[in-house]
Amino acid sequence: MSDMQDAPSFHRNKQPMLSVLTPLLDGDEKHVLEIASGSGQHGPFFTDTLANLRWWPSDISTQALNSINAWRTHLNANAVNAPQIVDVTGADWRDDNQLDQGPEKFDCILSMNMIHIAPFAATTGLIEGASKRLNSSGFLVFYGPFKRHGEHTAPSNQAFDESLQSRNADWGIRDLEEIIDLADKNHLAHSNTIEMPANNLVVIFKR
């Protein structure tokens, strides 16, 4: 029980995120690789409603893996597979068959609230990896705060960005247009940007 972390943001964004993911992912069986699952609360929540999903949680941190595992066991979330370590900056996960578990190609790769709390290499690693690990009709989905055309979209995001950079100079809110450009260079076409509560965005790319 004590391994289960409770992320306040999960309670705020779970329902809006489910509304975004439902039209994108319902239908046939779909395999979702979740990057940076953190507490591991999203997988059980989404798969509880979207029963066609097979969830593959991951994180760079063992503490996160313990929490993900504890939640999936506690909630008896059968569609959520055992978590595995994935560091998006590493080369191994980008190669077919180099994950410990999961299919060669995924229908969706989801990254929520990670790219601003990591060096920019995590953004490039995620995009390059998604380009290789998504199937031909797969989606890469980002959720979190973004700048637009180099500008913050709200004073609260600017303050958050400053606090991130004071913690680590390599962290910070990323620019949406830079991400779109990088994705485009990796054969991921920008499909949609959706405004979410609290000045966050969902950004969807299609393989």
Ligand X SMILES: C[S@@+](CC[C@H](N)C(=O)[O-])C[C@H]1O[C@@H](n2cnc3c(N)ncnc32)[C@H](O)[C@@H]1O
Where do contacts with ligand X occur on this chain (CB under 6 A)?
Answer: 7, 9-10, 35-39, 59-61, 64, 86-89, 112-114, 117-118, 122
CB of 134 to ligand X, least distance (A): 17
As a whole number of angstroms, the distance between CA 187 and CA 199 comes to 28
- Provide φ and ψ at 182, rounded to 5°: -65, -40
CB of 137 to ligand X, least distance (A): 24
CB of 8 to ligand X, least distance (A): 9
CB of 138 to ligand X, least distance (A): 19
Closer residue to ligand X (CB): 9 or 186: 9
Closer residue to ligand X (CB): 123 or 189: 123
Q: How open is the CA angle 149-151-156, to the nearest 5 degrees?
A: 140
Q: Tell me the two tokens of residue 22.
A: 């439902």
Which residue has the CB atom at the shortest distance from ligand X? Answer: 38
Closer residue to ligand X (CB): 71 or 205: 71
Closer residue to ligand X (CB): 136 or 165: 165
Could you write out the DSSP letters of every residue in 36-98? S-TT--HHHHHHHH-TTEEEEEEES-HHHHHHHHHHHHHTT-TTBPPPEE--TTSSGGGSTT-
